[in-house]
């Protein structure tokens, strides 16, 4: 049985728009049906201790027939193939060519050493919430009772703008 999965994609290094399009094409290979893709949004970086380039963000909805842990493995592998270098230093945030987070995995509430579902900060981030609202306005996080609209109102303001539709590279 297929599970609906929402992924947040972000990039602020290299040709970010092309990287997001390439990532969405690779993710389409995992999905059992055509992915639903938001627009690409430019957003101001959040949580960084120094000035970094703006991010480009999008949300993808896939239909998968794998476990959440296998999905995480596939996401991490894709990030690595697309040039993601993980910095193990103490700094929490660093620029990246690609970042793919599992926002929601079929409403599953789950915690392991490697994975927390739903994503623990997604409901507080405009750069996740606004693209998510674009493709699924009635989405609800399984551990919250408030609407997506209310979460957007509560989230820290971010000067975001829609750049283009996320169309996967062939």
| pLDDT of residue 90 exceeding 50 | no
State the pLDDT confidence band at 170, using cuts at 50, 70 and 90: low
**Mean pLDDT for the chain overall:** 94
Q: Which residues of 33-66 are buried (b: 16+ CB within 10 A; e: fewer)?
A: eebbbbbbbbbebeeeeeeeeebbbbbbbbbbeb
| pLDDT of residue 92 exceeding 90 | no
Question: What predicted TM-score, i.e. pTM, was given to this entire model?
Answer: 0.94
Residue with the larger pLDDT of the pair 90 and 38: 38
Instruction: Give 83-136 as a 3 state SS string.
Output: CCCCCCCCCCCCCCCCEEEEEEECCCCEECCCCEECCCCHHHCHHHHHHHHHHC
pLDDT at 88: 60
Tens of pLDDT, residue by residue over 94-127, are: 889 999 999 999 999 999 999 999 999 999 999 9
Mean predicted confidence (pLDDT) in 4-10: 98
State the pLDDT confidence band at 86, using cuts at 50, 70 and 90: confident
Residue with the larger pLDDT of the pair 94 and 15: 15
Domains within the chain, CATH numbers bracketed: 3-165 (3.30.70.560)
């Amino acid at each position: 049985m297929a599970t609906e999965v929402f992924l947040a994609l972000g990039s602020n290094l290299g040709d970010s728009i092309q990287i997001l399009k390439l990532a969405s094409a690779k993710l389409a290979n995992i999905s059992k049906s055509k992915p639903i893709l938001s627009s690409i949004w430019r957003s101001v970086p959040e949580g960084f201790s120094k000035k970094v380039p703006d991010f480009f963000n999008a949300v993808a909805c896939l239909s998968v027939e794998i476990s959440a842990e296998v999905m995480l493995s596939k996401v991490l592998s894709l990030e690595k193939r697309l040039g993601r270098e993980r910095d193990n230093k103490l700094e929490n945030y660093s620029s990246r060519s690609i970042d793919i987070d599992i926002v929601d995995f079929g409403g599953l509430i789950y915690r392991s050493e490697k994975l927390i579902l739903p994503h623990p900060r997604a409901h507080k981030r405009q750069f996740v919430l606004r693209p998510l609202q674009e493709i699924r306005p009635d989405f609800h996080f399984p551990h919250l009772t408030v609407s997506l609209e209310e979460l957007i109102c509560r989230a820290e303001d971010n000067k975001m703008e829609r750049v283009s539709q996320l169309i996967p590279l062939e």
